[in-house]
A = this chain, B = another copy of it.
Amino acid sequence: MTRVQIIFLLFTQYCYINTYVLLNKNDYSECVLDPDLLNEIASYKNVTDTIMSEIINNTWGKTMYDEYTNFIDKFGARPAGTIVLENAIDHMINLTKNYGLNTVTTEKVLTPHLVRGSEAAVMIQPRLKRIAILGLVPSVTTPANGITAEVIVVRSFDELNQIDEERIKGKIVVFDAHFTTYGETVAYRVAGASRASEKGAVASLIRSVTPYSLYTLHTGSQSYGKNVTKIPTAAITHEDADLMRRLQNEGKTIVLTIIMHSTINFKISRNTLVDLVGRVNRDKHVIVSGHIDSWDVGQGAMDDGGGMFISWFAPVIINKLNLKPRRTLRAILWTAEEPGLVGAFAYLKRHMDELDDINFIMESDEGTFEPLGLDVAGSKNAICIIAEILKLFSPIDKIKVSNSVGSDISIFNENGVPGAGLLNKNDKYFWFHHSDADTMNVQNKNDVLQCAAFWAAFSYVVSDLSVDIPRY
């Protein structure tokens, strides 16, 4: 297996969003925290209010939002392996220094680099129609003159399984899986090509993973299974998936020609570490993070420009306000999240001996819409403390509990590091995700400021608290 295969196989294990258990405050009735700790947490109310207010009501929030907008407008899409991404990383390093923090370092990461070539599809039977496609990553190329084959539309893996191999062999399989949750539906993006290939298909297409479409294409990573013949694979729109299903239902023979000429090579990128060094224990870390890379479509404003920016801003604003937490508050701008948590895996490998020193790890990679609270992975005791801290931020005090949260940080959770993702009102997140519609138009300034304020203030409390967040 190539390195790419390994990375993508690993990714498939982590890319599913877990089923959440939403807890309300009554669920914490059995939490018994030391009265001193309760008092200590309550004593942060003034400082958290100050941090929030400095960001929301003073000029700090506006400044940050302007820097964020400027960053997205200046660099746009920042795919892993590109010069644009490296320039964007340099920009953030300089910005950090300009805002008064010189403790910014980078760590090299080898990343796959997609070079998206021509991608086109045409339905040639029962009539001529352009079918908009957007390749999944990685996808092998087609022969130079494309693949021309009959289409078979299936709703699910179960439906595929029930069809004789003879009927699949030599065909293009269209997975017309309707969106339920991202976790469920993304399975068709990740494993569709392999499952189709196993039954002899020559290419596979998926209905774009989104609940809503204006003839909108959504890309994303996929993974070829071990020993399967690699076949070209791409996303199509809801509209064309529905068209082909109707044509099939009417007994029509559907023939497509698909041409895909993208390639992948390898480049060096960097994780960026911004430290506000701890005043008591500099080797203990609270990590707050987002990824700086994006897909090549859209502008990566939502995924994950917003999350990256509010995470970068946490140590910057805490430092500006002359607050010195006990532990080091480290912002990490992950590189190469989109091709498979590449930056996060590199960091985990490099810092495996220091995992015990990561007190808590946070990530915002599911939108910076109206903040609601946190999605937490950790022991019961950890969650009791987090819930108590969240009382400082009411009404931003909702908790979801999962085994692992986020994308990049999920691999840390699974190595025993407690952590949290930003819970926010992201109902429409997947309307924009991995598409040309991921732009600054998605963002609401006030919501982003609320997220930034909550994120900075919460991370300050955790990094300053006298007790560590307890592990399992």
- Interface residues of A, Cβ cutoff 8 Å to B: 69-70, 73-76, 126-127, 129, 132, 212-216, 238-239, 242-243, 246-247, 250, 298-299, 431-432, 435-437, 439-441
User: B75–A127 contact, CB under 8 A?
Assistant: yes
Cross-chain contact A431 with B74 (CB below 8 angstroms): no
* Inter-chain pairs besides A239-B439, A246-B440, 18 sampled, C-beta below 8 Å: A69-B246, A74-B126, A75-B127, A76-B127, A213-B214, A213-B437, A213-B441, A214-B431, A214-B432, A214-B437, A215-B435, A215-B436, A215-B437, A215-B439, A239-B436, A239-B440, A239-B441, A242-B441
Q: A440 and B127 in contact (CB under 8 A), knowing A214-B435, A250-B70?
A: no
Q: Give the distance to chain B from A207, nearest Cβ to Cβ, in Å.
A: 12
Query: Which of A76, A127, A129, A441 gathers most chain B CB within 10 Å?
Result: A441
**Whole-angstrom CA separation of A243 from B74 in the bound complex:** 10
CA distance A216 to B243 in the complex (A): 20
Contact check: which of B127, B298, B441 meets A74 at CB < 8 Å? B127
* Cα–Cα, bound, A431→B212 (Å): 12
Cβ-defined partner of A214 (8 Å) among B216, B250, B299, B440: B216
B73 touches A246 (CB 8 A): yes
Knowing A214-B214, A214-B432, A432-B214, the reply to whether A439 touches B75 (Cβ < 8 A) is no
Distance of A242 Cα from B72 Cα, bound (Å): 12
Residue in contact with A243 in the complex, picked from B126, B212, B439, CB distance below 8 Å: B439
Asked if residues A73 and B247 are in contact (CB atoms below 8 Å), the reply is yes
> For residue A87, which residue of chain B has the nearest CB?
B127
Q: Which residues of B contact A132 (CB under 8 A)?
A: 436
**Who on chain B is nearest to A244 by CB?**
B73
Chain B residues within an 8 Å CB radius of A215: 216, 298, 435-437, 439
Cβ–Cβ contact A73 & B213, under 8 A: no
Q: CB-CB < 8 A to A73: which residues of B? A: 243, 246-247, 250
